[in-house]
Structure 1
Protein backbone atom coordinates (compact mmCIF):
# COMPACT_ATOMS: atom_id res chain seq x y z
CA UNK A 1 0.00 0.00 0.00
CA UNK A 2 1.17 3.55 -0.74
CA UNK A 3 0.66 5.69 2.35
CA UNK A 4 0.94 9.46 2.61
CA UNK A 5 1.62 11.66 5.62
CA UNK A 6 0.70 15.34 5.72
CA UNK A 7 1.25 17.75 8.59
CA UNK A 8 0.53 21.42 9.13
CA UNK A 9 1.32 23.46 12.23
CA UNK A 10 -1.48 24.91 14.32
CA UNK A 11 -0.84 28.32 12.69
CA UNK A 12 -1.40 27.02 9.15
CA UNK A 13 -4.88 27.03 7.68
CA UNK A 14 -4.88 24.00 5.39
CA UNK A 15 -2.79 21.12 4.10
CA UNK A 16 -4.67 20.96 0.78
CA UNK A 17 -1.49 21.47 -1.25
CA UNK A 18 0.18 18.51 0.46
CA UNK A 19 -2.90 16.35 -0.04
CA UNK A 20 -2.96 17.19 -3.75
CA UNK A 21 0.72 16.25 -4.12
CA UNK A 22 0.31 12.98 -2.22
CA UNK A 23 -2.80 12.04 -4.16
CA UNK A 24 -1.02 12.72 -7.46
CA UNK A 25 1.85 10.50 -6.25
CA UNK A 26 -0.60 7.59 -5.93
CA UNK A 27 -1.24 7.50 -2.17
CA UNK A 28 -4.09 5.14 -1.32
CA UNK A 29 -4.38 6.38 2.25
CA UNK A 30 -3.28 9.70 3.74
CA UNK A 31 -2.71 10.43 7.43
CA UNK A 32 -3.33 14.11 8.17
CA UNK A 33 -1.96 15.82 11.26
CA UNK A 34 -2.37 19.37 12.58
CA UNK A 35 0.33 19.78 15.17
CA UNK A 36 3.70 21.45 15.58
CA UNK A 37 6.63 19.49 14.17
CA UNK A 38 8.57 20.23 17.37
CA UNK A 39 6.32 17.84 19.27
CA UNK A 40 7.33 14.17 19.10
CA UNK A 41 3.88 12.99 20.19
CA UNK A 42 2.03 12.92 16.89
CA UNK A 43 -0.86 10.43 17.15
CA UNK A 44 -1.54 10.15 13.41
CA UNK A 45 2.14 9.59 12.63
CA UNK A 46 2.38 6.94 15.36
CA UNK A 47 -0.76 5.24 14.05
CA UNK A 48 0.68 5.18 10.53
CA UNK A 49 4.03 3.73 11.67
CA UNK A 50 2.34 1.05 13.78
CA UNK A 51 0.22 -0.09 10.82
CA UNK A 52 3.01 -0.47 8.25
CA UNK A 53 3.81 -3.85 6.73
CA UNK A 54 6.26 -5.32 4.23
CA UNK A 55 6.05 -3.73 0.78
CA UNK A 56 4.37 -0.49 1.88
CA UNK A 57 5.65 2.90 0.71
CA UNK A 58 5.43 6.06 2.85
CA UNK A 59 5.39 9.37 0.93
CA UNK A 60 5.70 12.94 2.23
CA UNK A 61 5.74 16.19 0.29
CA UNK A 62 9.07 17.17 1.92
CA UNK A 63 11.26 16.21 4.86
CA UNK A 64 10.14 18.89 7.30
CA UNK A 65 6.55 17.63 7.15
CA UNK A 66 7.70 14.38 8.73
CA UNK A 67 10.53 15.21 11.14
CA UNK A 68 11.73 17.99 13.41
CA UNK A 69 15.43 17.36 12.76
CA UNK A 70 17.81 15.21 10.76
CA UNK A 71 18.23 12.79 13.65
CA UNK A 72 14.44 12.57 14.10
CA UNK A 73 14.05 11.94 10.36
CA UNK A 74 16.60 9.12 10.44
CA UNK A 75 14.88 7.50 13.44
CA UNK A 76 11.48 7.64 11.74
CA UNK A 77 12.83 6.27 8.46
CA UNK A 78 14.60 3.49 10.40
CA UNK A 79 11.22 2.56 11.90
CA UNK A 80 9.69 2.53 8.41
CA UNK A 81 12.50 0.33 7.04
CA UNK A 82 12.29 -2.06 10.02
CA UNK A 83 8.63 -2.64 9.16
CA UNK A 84 9.71 -3.73 5.66
CA UNK A 85 8.44 -0.53 4.04
CA UNK A 86 10.21 2.21 2.05
CA UNK A 87 10.21 6.02 2.26
CA UNK A 88 9.95 8.69 -0.42
CA UNK A 89 10.14 12.48 -0.20
CA UNK A 90 8.75 14.32 -3.22
CA UNK A 91 10.54 17.66 -2.82
CA UNK A 92 13.99 16.16 -2.16
CA UNK A 93 13.44 13.39 -4.75
CA UNK A 94 14.68 10.68 -2.37
CA UNK A 95 13.32 7.15 -2.43
CA UNK A 96 14.83 4.45 -0.17
CA UNK A 97 13.55 1.81 -2.58
CA UNK A 98 16.33 2.86 -4.98
CA UNK A 99 20.12 2.38 -4.52
CA UNK A 100 20.78 6.13 -4.85
CA UNK A 101 18.13 6.92 -2.25
CA UNK A 102 19.64 4.47 0.20
CA UNK A 103 23.09 5.96 -0.42
CA UNK A 104 21.81 9.45 0.36
CA UNK A 105 20.38 8.21 3.64
CA UNK A 106 23.70 6.60 4.54
CA UNK A 107 25.29 10.04 4.05
CA UNK A 108 22.61 11.62 6.22
CA UNK A 109 23.26 8.99 8.87
CA UNK A 110 26.99 9.78 8.90
CA UNK A 111 26.25 13.50 9.29
CA UNK A 112 23.80 12.83 12.12
CA UNK A 113 26.33 10.62 13.92
CA UNK A 114 28.94 13.38 13.61
CA UNK A 115 26.47 15.89 15.06
CA UNK A 116 25.64 13.57 17.97
CA UNK A 117 29.35 13.24 18.80
CA UNK A 118 29.83 17.01 18.66
CA UNK A 119 26.85 17.55 20.96
CA UNK A 120 28.28 15.00 23.40
CA UNK A 121 31.69 16.70 23.32
CA UNK A 122 30.18 20.15 23.89
CA UNK A 123 28.08 18.81 26.76
CA UNK A 124 31.12 17.29 28.48
CA UNK A 125 33.12 20.48 27.97
CA UNK A 126 30.28 22.53 29.45
CA UNK A 127 30.00 20.28 32.51
CA UNK A 128 33.76 20.42 33.11
CA UNK A 129 33.73 24.23 32.82
CA UNK A 130 30.80 24.49 35.23
CA UNK A 131 32.56 22.30 37.79
CA UNK A 132 35.68 24.47 37.59
CA UNK A 133 33.49 27.46 38.47
CA UNK A 134 31.93 25.58 41.38
CA UNK A 135 28.55 25.11 39.74
CA UNK A 136 26.58 21.89 39.92
CA UNK A 137 25.73 20.24 36.58
CA UNK A 138 22.14 19.48 35.76
CA UNK A 139 18.88 21.39 35.84
CA UNK A 140 18.63 23.84 38.77
CA UNK A 141 14.83 23.78 38.52
CA UNK A 142 14.80 20.01 39.04
CA UNK A 143 17.06 20.30 42.06
CA UNK A 144 14.61 22.88 43.42
CA UNK A 145 11.72 20.44 42.77
CA UNK A 146 10.00 22.93 40.48
CA UNK A 147 6.68 21.28 39.42
CA UNK A 148 6.84 22.68 35.87
CA UNK A 149 10.35 21.29 35.33
CA UNK A 150 9.32 17.95 36.81
CA UNK A 151 6.28 17.79 34.51
CA UNK A 152 8.47 18.56 31.47
CA UNK A 153 10.92 15.83 32.48
CA UNK A 154 8.09 13.32 32.88
CA UNK A 155 6.76 14.26 29.44
CA UNK A 156 10.18 13.76 27.84
CA UNK A 157 10.57 10.41 29.56
CA UNK A 158 7.12 9.32 28.36
CA UNK A 159 8.04 10.31 24.80
CA UNK A 160 11.36 8.47 25.03
CA UNK A 161 9.57 5.38 26.33
CA UNK A 162 7.09 5.48 23.45
CA UNK A 163 9.93 5.85 20.95
CA UNK A 164 11.62 2.78 22.46
CA UNK A 165 8.61 0.47 22.29
CA UNK A 166 7.49 1.84 18.93
CA UNK A 167 10.90 1.02 17.43
CA UNK A 168 10.17 -2.71 17.88
CA UNK A 169 6.39 -2.52 17.36
CA UNK A 170 6.70 -4.22 13.97
CA UNK A 171 7.82 -7.34 15.90
CA UNK A 172 5.55 -7.47 18.95
CA UNK A 173 2.41 -5.63 17.82
CA UNK A 174 1.28 -8.16 15.13
CA UNK A 175 1.74 -10.99 17.65
CA UNK A 176 -0.39 -9.19 20.25
CA UNK A 177 -3.11 -8.51 17.68
CA UNK A 178 -3.08 -12.15 16.57
CA UNK A 179 -3.12 -13.61 20.09
CA UNK A 180 -5.56 -11.08 21.59
CA UNK A 181 -8.43 -10.61 19.07
CA UNK A 182 -10.88 -7.85 19.93
CA UNK A 183 -14.66 -7.87 19.76
CA UNK A 184 -14.41 -6.16 16.36
CA UNK A 185 -12.32 -9.09 15.11
CA UNK A 186 -14.87 -11.58 16.41
CA UNK A 187 -17.76 -9.70 14.79
CA UNK A 188 -15.96 -9.70 11.44
CA UNK A 189 -17.00 -13.34 10.85
CA UNK A 190 -13.45 -14.51 10.34
CA UNK A 191 -13.12 -18.00 8.81
CA UNK A 192 -11.08 -19.15 11.81
CA UNK A 193 -11.93 -17.60 15.15
CA UNK A 194 -8.71 -17.14 17.09
CA UNK A 195 -8.88 -17.77 20.83
CA UNK A 196 -7.77 -15.06 23.25
CA UNK A 197 -4.53 -16.31 24.77
CA UNK A 198 -3.33 -15.37 28.26
CA UNK A 199 -0.34 -13.02 28.40
CA UNK A 200 1.83 -15.85 29.73
CA UNK A 201 1.40 -17.58 26.35
CA UNK A 202 1.80 -14.40 24.28
CA UNK A 203 5.12 -13.49 25.90
CA UNK A 204 7.18 -16.51 24.65
CA UNK A 205 6.09 -15.82 21.07
CA UNK A 206 7.28 -12.22 21.31
CA UNK A 207 10.60 -13.17 22.86
CA UNK A 208 11.03 -15.77 20.13
CA UNK A 209 10.58 -13.04 17.49
CA UNK A 210 13.06 -10.80 19.31
CA UNK A 211 15.65 -13.59 19.57
CA UNK A 212 16.12 -13.73 15.80
CA UNK A 213 17.09 -10.06 15.45
CA UNK A 214 20.58 -8.78 14.73
CA UNK A 215 21.70 -7.23 16.97
CA UNK A 216 19.59 -9.25 19.44
CA UNK A 217 16.90 -7.38 21.34
CA UNK A 218 16.49 -7.79 25.12
CA UNK A 219 13.91 -10.29 26.33
CA UNK A 220 10.62 -8.88 27.59
CA UNK A 221 8.87 -9.71 30.84
CA UNK A 222 5.10 -9.99 31.17
CA UNK A 223 5.08 -6.72 33.13
CA UNK A 224 6.99 -4.90 30.39
CA UNK A 225 4.68 -6.31 27.72
CA UNK A 226 1.55 -5.19 29.56
CA UNK A 227 3.01 -1.72 30.07
CA UNK A 228 3.67 -1.41 26.32
CA UNK A 229 0.16 -2.63 25.46
CA UNK A 230 -1.40 -0.19 27.95
CA UNK A 231 0.55 2.67 26.35
CA UNK A 232 -0.58 1.73 22.83
CA UNK A 233 -4.19 1.47 24.04
CA UNK A 234 -3.93 4.93 25.64
CA UNK A 235 -2.63 6.38 22.36
CA UNK A 236 -5.40 4.72 20.33
CA UNK A 237 -3.02 2.38 18.51
CA UNK A 238 -4.67 -0.72 19.99
CA UNK A 239 -8.29 -1.44 20.84
CA UNK A 240 -9.11 -1.43 24.55
CA UNK A 241 -10.48 -4.98 24.23
CA UNK A 242 -6.90 -6.13 23.78
CA UNK A 243 -6.56 -5.86 27.57
CA UNK A 244 -9.69 -7.93 28.28
CA UNK A 245 -9.18 -11.00 30.46
CA UNK A 246 -8.56 -14.25 28.63
CA UNK A 247 -11.19 -16.93 29.23
CA UNK A 248 -10.34 -19.40 31.97
CA UNK A 249 -8.69 -22.57 30.72
CA UNK A 250 -10.71 -25.73 31.27
CA UNK A 251 -9.49 -27.85 34.15
CA UNK A 252 -6.93 -30.41 33.06
CA UNK A 253 -7.01 -34.03 34.08
CA UNK A 254 -4.19 -33.45 36.59
CA UNK A 255 -6.06 -30.58 38.24
CA UNK A 256 -9.22 -32.69 38.56
CA UNK A 257 -7.23 -35.64 39.92
CA UNK A 258 -5.49 -33.57 42.60
CA UNK A 259 -8.78 -31.84 43.49
CA UNK A 260 -10.48 -35.24 43.89
CA UNK A 261 -7.69 -36.46 46.20
CA UNK A 262 -7.95 -33.33 48.33
CA UNK A 263 -11.75 -33.54 48.54
CA UNK A 264 -11.67 -37.19 49.56
CA UNK A 265 -9.16 -36.47 52.33
CA UNK A 266 -8.84 -32.75 53.21
CA UNK A 267 -5.99 -33.58 55.61
CA UNK A 268 -3.72 -34.79 52.84
CA UNK A 269 -0.51 -32.81 52.73
CA UNK A 270 1.20 -31.83 49.50
CA UNK A 271 3.88 -34.48 50.04
CA UNK A 272 1.15 -37.12 50.56
CA UNK A 273 -0.49 -36.17 47.26
CA UNK A 274 2.91 -36.27 45.54
CA UNK A 275 3.55 -39.79 46.88
CA UNK A 276 0.09 -40.92 45.79
CA UNK A 277 0.58 -39.57 42.27
CA UNK A 278 3.92 -41.35 42.00
CA UNK A 279 2.36 -44.60 43.29
CA UNK A 280 -0.34 -44.35 40.61
CA UNK A 281 2.32 -43.82 37.93
CA UNK A 282 0.95 -40.40 36.93
CA UNK A 283 3.58 -38.22 35.25
CA UNK A 284 4.13 -34.55 36.05
CA UNK A 285 3.12 -31.82 33.56
CA UNK A 286 6.68 -31.99 32.19
CA UNK A 287 6.56 -35.77 31.86
CA UNK A 288 8.70 -36.66 34.91
CA UNK A 289 7.87 -39.53 37.25
CA UNK A 290 9.05 -37.73 40.40
CA UNK A 291 6.62 -35.18 41.88
CA UNK A 292 7.67 -32.15 43.95
CA UNK A 293 5.47 -30.47 46.55
CA UNK A 294 5.80 -27.25 44.50
CA UNK A 295 4.21 -28.86 41.44
CA UNK A 296 1.40 -30.28 43.56
CA UNK A 297 0.89 -26.89 45.21
CA UNK A 298 0.48 -25.24 41.81
CA UNK A 299 -2.24 -27.75 40.88
CA UNK A 300 -4.02 -27.24 44.22
CA UNK A 301 -4.01 -23.45 43.77
CA UNK A 302 -5.34 -23.80 40.23
CA UNK A 303 -8.08 -26.12 41.45
CA UNK A 304 -9.12 -23.47 43.96
CA UNK A 305 -9.13 -20.73 41.30
CA UNK A 306 -11.31 -22.86 39.04
CA UNK A 307 -13.80 -23.67 41.80
CA UNK A 308 -12.91 -27.35 42.16
CA UNK A 309 -11.78 -26.82 45.76
CA UNK A 310 -12.94 -24.41 48.40
CA UNK A 311 -10.52 -21.67 49.26
Structure 2
Protein backbone atom coordinates (compact mmCIF):
# COMPACT_ATOMS: atom_id res chain seq x y z
CA UNK A 1 0.00 0.00 0.00
CA UNK A 2 1.13 3.50 -0.80
CA UNK A 3 1.88 5.61 2.29
CA UNK A 4 -0.91 7.99 3.25
CA UNK A 5 -0.19 11.61 2.29
CA UNK A 6 1.09 13.92 5.02
CA UNK A 7 -1.57 16.25 6.41
CA UNK A 8 -1.57 19.67 4.78
CA UNK A 9 -0.02 22.26 7.04
CA UNK A 10 -2.19 25.11 8.29
CA UNK A 11 -1.18 28.71 7.59
CA UNK A 12 -2.27 30.85 10.55
CA UNK A 13 -2.03 34.63 10.16
CA UNK A 14 -1.38 37.21 12.87
CA UNK A 15 -2.13 40.90 12.26
CA UNK A 16 -1.42 43.68 14.76
CA UNK A 17 -1.87 47.44 14.86
CA UNK A 18 -0.61 49.80 17.57
CA UNK A 19 -3.64 52.04 18.14
CA UNK A 20 -7.41 51.95 17.80
CA UNK A 21 -7.18 54.48 14.94
CA UNK A 22 -5.24 52.05 12.76
CA UNK A 23 -6.77 49.27 10.68
CA UNK A 24 -5.55 45.76 9.94
CA UNK A 25 -7.19 45.71 6.46
CA UNK A 26 -3.94 45.88 4.48
CA UNK A 27 -2.39 43.08 6.56
CA UNK A 28 -5.51 40.93 6.19
CA UNK A 29 -5.40 41.25 2.40
CA UNK A 30 -1.77 40.07 2.26
CA UNK A 31 -2.33 37.24 4.74
CA UNK A 32 -5.40 35.98 2.90
CA UNK A 33 -3.52 36.15 -0.41
CA UNK A 34 -0.74 34.04 1.17
CA UNK A 35 -3.30 31.31 1.93
CA UNK A 36 -4.00 31.89 5.63
CA UNK A 37 -7.29 30.20 6.45
CA UNK A 38 -7.31 31.54 10.00
CA UNK A 39 -6.19 35.06 10.98
CA UNK A 40 -5.89 36.47 14.51
CA UNK A 41 -6.06 40.25 14.99
CA UNK A 42 -4.77 42.32 17.89
CA UNK A 43 -4.41 45.95 18.90
CA UNK A 44 -1.41 46.76 21.08
CA UNK A 45 1.68 48.93 21.26
CA UNK A 46 4.83 47.55 19.68
CA UNK A 47 6.66 47.90 23.00
CA UNK A 48 3.97 46.30 25.13
CA UNK A 49 4.51 42.86 26.64
CA UNK A 50 0.78 42.26 27.11
CA UNK A 51 -0.45 40.55 23.93
CA UNK A 52 -3.17 38.13 25.02
CA UNK A 53 -4.25 37.24 21.44
CA UNK A 54 -0.69 36.28 20.48
CA UNK A 55 -0.22 34.37 23.75
CA UNK A 56 -3.37 32.33 23.10
CA UNK A 57 -2.37 31.70 19.49
CA UNK A 58 1.05 30.38 20.55
CA UNK A 59 -0.66 28.18 23.12
CA UNK A 60 -3.03 26.60 20.60
CA UNK A 61 -0.75 26.25 17.56
CA UNK A 62 0.01 22.64 16.60
CA UNK A 63 2.92 20.75 15.10
CA UNK A 64 3.20 21.44 11.37
CA UNK A 65 1.33 24.76 11.54
CA UNK A 66 2.96 27.92 10.17
CA UNK A 67 2.52 31.27 11.92
CA UNK A 68 2.49 33.98 9.21
CA UNK A 69 2.89 37.74 9.58
CA UNK A 70 3.23 40.50 7.00
CA UNK A 71 6.36 41.99 8.61
CA UNK A 72 8.54 41.08 11.58
CA UNK A 73 7.59 44.24 13.49
CA UNK A 74 3.96 43.07 13.54
CA UNK A 75 4.98 40.13 15.72
CA UNK A 76 7.95 41.02 17.92
CA UNK A 77 9.07 43.92 20.07
CA UNK A 78 12.74 43.19 19.39
CA UNK A 79 15.07 40.66 17.81
CA UNK A 80 15.40 38.85 21.13
CA UNK A 81 11.59 38.67 21.45
CA UNK A 82 11.34 37.34 17.88
CA UNK A 83 13.89 34.62 18.62
CA UNK A 84 12.02 33.72 21.82
CA UNK A 85 8.72 33.32 19.92
CA UNK A 86 10.33 31.23 17.18
CA UNK A 87 12.06 29.01 19.76
CA UNK A 88 8.65 28.35 21.33
CA UNK A 89 7.21 27.44 17.92
CA UNK A 90 10.12 25.09 17.21
CA UNK A 91 9.50 23.25 20.49
CA UNK A 92 5.96 22.56 19.28
CA UNK A 93 7.11 21.50 15.82
CA UNK A 94 5.55 24.60 14.24
CA UNK A 95 7.12 27.12 11.82
CA UNK A 96 7.22 30.87 11.26
CA UNK A 97 7.10 32.95 8.08
CA UNK A 98 7.25 36.68 7.40
CA UNK A 99 5.89 37.69 3.99
CA UNK A 100 8.04 40.81 3.55
CA UNK A 101 11.22 39.49 5.19
CA UNK A 102 13.46 36.54 4.23
CA UNK A 103 12.35 34.50 7.24
CA UNK A 104 10.68 31.12 6.74
CA UNK A 105 11.80 28.55 9.29
CA UNK A 106 10.47 25.69 7.17
CA UNK A 107 13.26 26.32 4.61
CA UNK A 108 17.08 26.16 4.94
CA UNK A 109 17.40 29.72 3.59
CA UNK A 110 14.94 31.02 6.17
CA UNK A 111 16.77 29.27 9.01
CA UNK A 112 20.05 30.80 7.81
CA UNK A 113 18.49 34.28 7.89
CA UNK A 114 17.24 33.55 11.41
CA UNK A 115 20.74 32.56 12.53
CA UNK A 116 22.08 35.82 11.11
CA UNK A 117 19.45 37.73 13.09
CA UNK A 118 20.50 35.88 16.22
CA UNK A 119 24.14 36.82 15.67
CA UNK A 120 23.16 40.46 15.09
CA UNK A 121 21.12 40.47 18.30
CA UNK A 122 24.07 39.07 20.28
CA UNK A 123 26.43 41.66 18.73
CA UNK A 124 23.94 44.44 19.55
CA UNK A 125 23.75 43.34 23.19
CA UNK A 126 27.55 43.19 23.45
CA UNK A 127 28.01 46.67 21.93
CA UNK A 128 25.39 48.20 24.23
CA UNK A 129 27.07 46.58 27.22
CA UNK A 130 30.51 47.84 26.21
CA UNK A 131 29.24 51.39 25.56
CA UNK A 132 27.50 51.42 28.94
CA UNK A 133 30.62 50.24 30.77
CA UNK A 134 32.81 52.78 28.95
CA UNK A 135 30.40 55.59 29.83
CA UNK A 136 30.37 54.57 33.49
CA UNK A 137 34.18 54.44 33.61
CA UNK A 138 34.46 57.90 32.03
CA UNK A 139 31.88 59.38 34.41
CA UNK A 140 33.64 57.87 37.41
CA UNK A 141 37.01 59.24 36.21
CA UNK A 142 35.46 62.74 36.11
CA UNK A 143 34.48 62.34 39.74
CA UNK A 144 30.77 61.98 39.06
CA UNK A 145 28.84 60.01 41.66
CA UNK A 146 26.89 57.35 39.78
CA UNK A 147 23.30 56.40 40.36
CA UNK A 148 20.12 58.23 41.18
CA UNK A 149 20.37 60.67 44.10
CA UNK A 150 16.95 59.48 45.24
CA UNK A 151 18.19 55.88 45.42
CA UNK A 152 21.46 56.82 47.15
CA UNK A 153 19.61 58.87 49.73
CA UNK A 154 16.78 56.33 50.10
CA UNK A 155 14.14 58.96 49.42
CA UNK A 156 10.73 57.39 50.14
CA UNK A 157 9.11 58.62 46.91
CA UNK A 158 11.98 57.23 44.81
CA UNK A 159 11.96 53.87 46.57
CA UNK A 160 8.18 53.69 46.18
CA UNK A 161 8.38 54.51 42.46
CA UNK A 162 11.06 51.87 41.85
CA UNK A 163 9.07 49.30 43.82
CA UNK A 164 5.94 49.97 41.77
CA UNK A 165 7.91 49.74 38.51
CA UNK A 166 9.45 46.42 39.57
CA UNK A 167 6.03 45.08 40.58
CA UNK A 168 4.57 46.11 37.21
CA UNK A 169 7.36 44.33 35.31
CA UNK A 170 6.49 41.14 37.20
CA UNK A 171 2.70 41.51 37.20
CA UNK A 172 2.06 42.41 33.54
CA UNK A 173 3.46 39.19 31.98
CA UNK A 174 1.93 37.21 34.84
CA UNK A 175 -1.55 38.48 33.96
CA UNK A 176 -0.93 38.00 30.23
CA UNK A 177 -0.03 34.32 30.73
CA UNK A 178 -2.61 33.50 33.43
CA UNK A 179 -5.03 31.88 30.97
CA UNK A 180 -2.43 29.14 30.37
CA UNK A 181 -2.05 28.02 33.99
CA UNK A 182 -4.62 29.63 36.28
CA UNK A 183 -7.58 27.40 35.24
CA UNK A 184 -5.59 24.33 36.30
CA UNK A 185 -4.66 25.95 39.60
CA UNK A 186 -8.32 26.81 40.27
CA UNK A 187 -9.45 23.24 39.61
CA UNK A 188 -6.71 21.54 41.63
CA UNK A 189 -6.13 23.87 44.59
CA UNK A 190 -6.31 23.53 47.49
CA UNK A 191 -7.35 19.90 47.10
CA UNK A 192 -3.99 18.86 45.62
CA UNK A 193 -0.50 19.93 46.77
CA UNK A 194 1.48 22.48 44.79
CA UNK A 195 3.91 19.79 43.62
CA UNK A 196 1.11 17.90 41.84
CA UNK A 197 -0.22 21.09 40.22
CA UNK A 198 3.28 21.87 38.96
CA UNK A 199 3.68 18.35 37.61
CA UNK A 200 0.44 18.67 35.61
CA UNK A 201 1.39 22.09 34.20
CA UNK A 202 4.91 21.02 33.29
CA UNK A 203 3.49 17.92 31.65
CA UNK A 204 1.82 20.33 29.21
CA UNK A 205 5.14 21.96 28.31
CA UNK A 206 5.25 24.73 30.92
CA UNK A 207 8.17 25.45 33.25
CA UNK A 208 7.22 25.94 36.91
CA UNK A 209 8.55 25.17 40.34
CA UNK A 210 6.22 24.90 43.33
CA UNK A 211 7.65 28.05 44.89
CA UNK A 212 7.36 30.16 41.71
CA UNK A 213 3.79 29.00 41.15
CA UNK A 214 2.81 29.71 44.75
CA UNK A 215 4.37 33.17 44.47
CA UNK A 216 2.49 33.87 41.23
CA UNK A 217 -0.85 32.88 42.77
CA UNK A 218 -0.07 34.89 45.90
CA UNK A 219 0.55 37.96 43.72
CA UNK A 220 -2.78 37.58 41.91
CA UNK A 221 -4.52 37.11 45.24
CA UNK A 222 -2.93 40.35 46.51
CA UNK A 223 -4.35 42.11 43.43
CA UNK A 224 -7.79 40.61 44.14
CA UNK A 225 -7.60 38.67 40.89
CA UNK A 226 -7.70 35.23 42.52
CA UNK A 227 -9.47 33.53 45.41
CA UNK A 228 -7.40 33.50 48.65
CA UNK A 229 -8.65 29.93 49.24
CA UNK A 230 -6.17 28.77 46.58
CA UNK A 231 -3.37 29.44 49.05
CA UNK A 232 -4.84 27.28 51.81
CA UNK A 233 -2.86 24.23 52.86
CA UNK A 234 -3.88 21.09 51.01
CA UNK A 235 -5.38 18.34 53.19
CA UNK A 236 -2.99 15.58 54.29
CA UNK A 237 -3.32 12.37 52.33
CA UNK A 238 -1.59 8.99 52.77
CA UNK A 239 1.35 8.55 50.42
CA UNK A 240 -0.49 5.66 48.78
CA UNK A 241 -3.16 8.13 47.64
CA UNK A 242 -0.70 10.41 45.84
CA UNK A 243 -1.12 8.73 42.43
CA UNK A 244 -4.90 8.75 42.77
CA UNK A 245 -5.02 12.47 43.63
CA UNK A 246 -2.58 13.33 40.83
CA UNK A 247 -4.72 11.58 38.21
CA UNK A 248 -7.84 13.17 39.67
CA UNK A 249 -6.11 16.54 39.38
CA UNK A 250 -5.33 15.95 35.70
CA UNK A 251 -8.96 15.00 35.05
CA UNK A 252 -10.25 18.09 36.86
CA UNK A 253 -7.75 20.38 35.13
CA UNK A 254 -9.09 19.38 31.71
CA UNK A 255 -12.48 17.63 31.85
CA UNK A 256 -12.35 17.00 28.10
CA UNK A 257 -9.47 14.52 28.35
CA UNK A 258 -10.26 10.91 27.56
CA UNK A 259 -8.86 8.05 29.63
CA UNK A 260 -6.30 7.43 26.90
CA UNK A 261 -5.30 11.11 26.87
CA UNK A 262 -4.65 10.95 30.61
CA UNK A 263 -2.61 7.77 30.14
CA UNK A 264 -0.45 9.51 27.53
CA UNK A 265 0.10 12.47 29.83
CA UNK A 266 1.13 10.21 32.70
CA UNK A 267 3.69 8.52 30.46
CA UNK A 268 4.96 11.95 29.37
CA UNK A 269 5.28 12.89 33.05
CA UNK A 270 7.17 9.61 33.64
CA UNK A 271 4.75 8.52 36.33
CA UNK A 272 4.88 4.81 37.12
CA UNK A 273 1.66 2.81 37.18
CA UNK A 274 0.55 0.93 40.34
CA UNK A 275 2.62 -2.09 39.27
CA UNK A 276 5.74 0.02 38.83
CA UNK A 277 5.74 0.02 35.03
CA UNK A 278 6.13 3.02 32.74
CA UNK A 279 3.24 2.19 30.39
CA UNK A 280 -0.32 3.23 31.17
CA UNK A 281 -3.57 2.01 29.70
CA UNK A 282 -7.11 3.36 29.91
CA UNK A 283 -8.28 0.72 32.40
CA UNK A 284 -5.53 1.64 34.90
CA UNK A 285 -6.51 5.30 34.68
CA UNK A 286 -10.17 4.40 35.18
CA UNK A 287 -9.36 2.37 38.30
CA UNK A 288 -7.60 5.36 39.83
CA UNK A 289 -10.47 7.74 38.95
CA UNK A 290 -13.03 5.29 40.38
CA UNK A 291 -10.97 5.14 43.56
CA UNK A 292 -10.89 8.95 43.68
CA UNK A 293 -14.68 9.09 43.40
CA UNK A 294 -15.06 6.59 46.22
CA UNK A 295 -12.76 8.80 48.30
CA UNK A 296 -15.22 11.66 47.82
CA UNK A 297 -13.45 13.71 45.12
CA UNK A 298 -15.82 15.51 42.76
CA UNK A 299 -14.67 14.58 39.27
CA UNK A 300 -16.08 15.26 35.80
CA UNK A 301 -17.89 12.40 34.09
CA UNK A 302 -15.27 10.21 32.43
CA UNK A 303 -15.54 10.26 28.64
CA UNK A 304 -15.60 6.89 26.96
CA UNK A 305 -12.15 5.90 25.82
CA UNK A 306 -11.84 5.46 22.07
CA UNK A 307 -11.19 1.97 20.92
> TM-score with structure 2 length normalisation?
0.57
1:60 matched residue in structure 2? 69
Structure 1 residue 104 and structure 2 residue 113: aligned? yes
Q: 2:164 aligns with which of 147, 151, 162?
A: 151
Superposed displacement of residue 65, structure 1: 0.8
Change in Cα spacing, 1:224 to 1:152, as seen in structure 2 (3 Å) is: closer
Number of residue pairs the alignment of both structures matches? 222
Gaps of 5+ in 2: 1-9, 242-295, 297-307
Tell which deviates more after alignment, 130-139 or 52-61: 130-139
For residues 156-171 of structure 1, what are the structure 2 equivalents within 5 Å? 156-158=169-171, 162=174
Q: Distance in 1 between the 2:220 and 2:61 partners?
A: 15
Change in Cα spacing, 1:48 to 1:231, as seen in structure 2 (3 Å) is: farther
Q: Distance in 2 between the 1:157 and 1:240 partners?
A: 16
Change in Cα spacing, 1:227 to 1:154, as seen in structure 2 (3 Å) is: closer
> Secondary structure in 2 aligned to 1:154?
helix
1:199 matched residue in structure 2? 194
2:52 matched residue in structure 1? 43
Tell which deviates more after alignment, 51-60 or 223-232: 223-232
Tell which deviates more after alignment, 108-117 or 30-39: 30-39
Q: Distance in 1 between the 2:134 and 2:70 partners?
A: 39
> Secondary structure in 2 aligned to 1:67?
coil
Conservation of the 8 A alpha-carbon contact between 1:142 and 1:150: no
Conservation of the 8 A alpha-carbon contact between 1:233 and 1:240: yes
Gaps of 5+ in 1: 184-195, 256-305, 307-311
Structure 1 residue 222 and structure 2 residue 210: aligned? yes
Change in Cα spacing, 1:38 to 1:181, as seen in structure 2 (3 Å) is: closer
> Secondary structure in 2 aligned to 1:123?
helix
Superposed displacement of residue 4, structure 1: 1.6
Change in Cα spacing, 1:201 to 1:24, as seen in structure 2 (3 Å) is: same
User: Over the residues paired in the alignment, what is the CA RMSD in angstroms?
Assistant: 4.4
> TM-score with structure 1 length normalisation?
0.56
Conservation of the 8 A alpha-carbon contact between 2:20 and 2:43: no
Conservation of the 8 A alpha-carbon contact between 1:141 and 1:149: no
